[in-house]
DNA sequence: CTATATATTCCGACCGTTCGGTATGTTTTT
DNA sequence: AAAAACATACCGAACGGTCGGAATATATAG
C-alpha cells in the first residue's frame, strides 16, 4: 500500500475484471481500496480516466503477448510454450484473488467489450494485437512446413487461425463454466489438430 | 404493434443484445418501444422480469439449436448443415436490425454474462445446452468413425470439442471485429480440421 | 341502437435512492 | 508555512419504480 495511485489501479482492475464498467460503482472502488472519495479524485479525475489507465495496464501486462519469447524450434514447442504462458497467467490471476478455489471470478471480456465501446483508440490497438498474434502463428506454421514438421495442403494462415480460434473458444468456455483448473485440457485439443496437420 | 407485450419483449431483446443489463435503462426501453412507463409496468413488474423473459425467449427461440434437424448422414454434412443454420441466424439477426451494413451491433455475450450473474437457474440450463451440443457432435463423430468417414485415434469427444470450440472462438472474433459477412470463413477452418481427422 | 357500467390499457408526474462528481475541509509530509 | 494527501458533507442528475387517473375497449341493460 505504499503507492496509493497504484493501489487504486490494481483494485479497479480487479473490479473491472469482475463486472462491467457501469456495474462497478465509485462507492465500490472507494470502499474496496479502503480510501475516500477525496483520495480517489486526488489521483484520478474521473471513473472513465481510471478505466482508461486500467485498460492500458491490462493490455501491456496481461494481454500483450511477447510471442518472440516463445520457442521457435518447432510448431509443437511453440504451442507448448504458449500453453505454459497461459497457465502462468491464470496462476498470476489467482495471486490477485481472481480465482477462489477452482472458480474463475474474472472475465476479461468485460474489460474488452467496455474498452471497445468507450475508448475509440482501443479498437485499432486490439486489431493490431490480433494481427500480431496471427502473424506470429503464421510464421511458425510456415517454418514448420519448411522443416517438414508438418505437411498439409491447408494455407498457413488458416492453420494459424485454427490454433488461435480453438484456444479462444476454449478460453471462453473456461470462463463461463468458471473452471480455472481445466486449463490443461486445451493441450490435447492442440495435439489433436497438430496431428491432423502433420499428415 | 398488435401485441404490446410482445412488442416490449422484442424491443428489450434488441437492447439487451447491444449492451449489458445495467446499461439498458428503463427510459431507453420505454422510449424505444414508443410507450410510457405506465404501459411498461402494466405488463412487467420490473426491469429484471422482462430480462428474465427475454433470456428465456432468446434461449428457446434463438440460441437453442435443434441438432436433430441437422443432417446425420456424415460428419461433413452435419457441420455443413450446422454452418448453414448459423448463417440463417445471422440473417434473421439482420432482419431485426442487429446488423447495419456489414457491422454486427449485437453481442449475445452481454445477455449470457448477465443471465449467468443474475438468474440462478440459468447456469444449469446453459450447462445442459452445452452438454447437448457436445453430445450431438460426439454422436456424429462416433458414427463417422464407424462408417469409416474419419479414421483418427483421437477420442470422439475431443474431436467434437475441437469443432465446438473452434466455432465459438471464430464467432467471438466475428462479434468483436463486427464483421458479420465473414461468417463463411468458418467453413474452410472446419474443412481443415476435418481433413486432419480423416487421416 | 343507445346508454351505462366495468374492465383493460396506457399515461406522465412524482418518489426515494443511488449515481458520479465537487467543495471544503482536516491531517500529514516536507 | 506550504503543499500534498486524504476525509466528509454535499450536489444535481439519473436511476428504477409507483400511483392516480385519463383514455379506450368491452360487456351489459334498457
In the block, cell 502462468 appears at A88
**pLDDT per residue rounded down to tens, chain A (199 residues):** 469 999 999 999 999 999 999 999 999 999 999 999 999 999 999 999 999 999 999 887 766 677 888 888 999 999 999 999 999 989 988 888 889 888 888 899 999 999 999 999 999 999 999 999 999 999 999 999 999 999 999 999 999 999 999 999 999 999 998 888 899 999 999 999 999 999 7
B9-18, B80-89, B96-105, B150-159: least confident range = B96-105
Fold for the domain defined by B4-58: Arc Repressor Mutant, subunit A (1.10.10)
Give the Cα separation of B4 and A132 in Å (integer): 49
pLDDT score, position A163: 98
How far is it, in rounded angstroms, from Cα A172 to Cα B55? 20
Q: What are phi and psi of B104, to 5 degrees?
A: -70, 120
Q: What is the reported pLDDT for B85?
A: 93
Whether A180 contacts A94, CB under 8 Å: yes
B189 in contact with A, Cβ within 8 Å: yes
Query: If you average pLDDT over every residue of chain B, what do you get?
Result: 94
pLDDT for A62 equals 67
Q: Is the dihedral of CA B135, B137, B139, B142 positive or negative?
A: negative
**Domain residue spans in chain B?**
4-58, 65-198
At B104-134, the pLDDT tens digits run 888 999 999 999 999 999 999 999 999 999 9
C-alpha pair distances (Å), B18 with each of A17, A116, B170:
19, 13, 19
CB A173 within 8 A of CB B116: no
- Tell me what the mean pLDDT of segment B73-102 comes to: 92
A4-57 — its CATH code? 1.10.10.60
Residues 32-51 of B with CB under 7 A from strand D: 37-38, 41, 45-48
Question: How far apart (Å, rounded) are the C-alpha atoms in residues A63 and A98?
Answer: 16
> pLDDT at residue B65 above 80?
no
ipTM of the complex: 0.93
Our measurement of the distance from residue A80's CA atom to the centroid of its chain's CA atoms, rounded to an integer in Å, reads: 17
**CB within 8 Å: A169 and B173:** no
pLDDT of residue A172: 97
pLDDT tens digits along B30-47 = 999 999 999 999 999 999
Q: How far is A64 from chain B (nearest CA, A)?
A: 17
| CA dihedral sign of residues B73, B77, B81, B86 | positive
CATH 1.10.357 fits A65-198, yes or no: yes
Nearest to B187 by CA among A153, A188, A162: A162
CB B98 within 8 A of CB B175: no
Dihedral, B179, B184, B186, B192 alpha carbons, nearest 10:
-140
- A contact residues 49-78, partner B, Cβ 8 Å cutoff: none
- Whose CA is closest to B166, among B108, B93, B86? B86
Residue B2 reports pLDDT greater than 80 = no
List, as ranges, residues 140-179 from B with C-beta within 8 Å of A: 152-154, 158-159, 161-162, 164-173, 176-177
Cell of residue A110, nine digits:
468485460
pLDDT of residue B1: 46
Q: Is the pLDDT of residue B95 over 80?
A: yes
Highest mean pLDDT out of A180-184, B10-14, B58-62: B10-14
Amino acid at each position: 500500500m505504499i503507492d496509493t495511485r497504484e493501489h487504486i489501479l490494481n483494485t479497479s482492475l480487479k473490479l473491472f475484471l469482475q463486472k462491467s464498467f457501469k456495474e462497478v460503482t465509485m462507492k465500490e472502488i472507494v470502499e474496496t481500496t479502503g480510501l475516500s472519495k477525496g483520495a480517489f479524485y486526488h489521483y484520478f479525475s474521473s471513473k472513465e480516466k481510471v478505466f482508461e489507465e486500467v485498460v492500458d495496464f491490462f493490455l501491456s501486462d496481461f494481454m500483450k503477448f511477447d510471442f518472440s519469447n516463445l520457442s521457435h524450434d518447432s510448431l509443437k514447442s511453440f504451442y507448448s510454450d504458449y500453453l505454459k504462458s497461459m497457465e502462468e497467467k491464470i496462476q498470476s490471476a489467482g495471486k490477485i484473488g481472481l480465482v477462489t478455489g477452482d472458480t474463475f471470478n474474472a472475465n476479461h471480456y468485460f474489460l474488452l467489450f467496455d474498452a471497445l465501446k468507450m475508448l475509440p483508440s482501443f479498437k485499432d490497438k486490439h486489431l493490431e494485437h490480433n494481427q500480431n498474434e496471427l502473424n506470429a502463428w503464421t510464421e511458425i506454421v510456415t517454418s514448420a512446413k519448411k522443416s517438414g514438421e508438418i505437411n498439409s495442403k491447408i494455407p498457413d494462415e488458416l492453420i494459424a487461425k485454427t490454433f488461435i480460434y480453438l484456444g479462444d473458444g476454449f478460453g471462453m468456455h473456461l470462463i463461463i463454466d468458471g473452471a480455472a483448473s481445466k486449463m490443461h485440457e486445451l493441450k490435447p485439443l492442440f495435439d489433436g489438430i497438430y496431428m491432423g496437420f502433420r499428415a
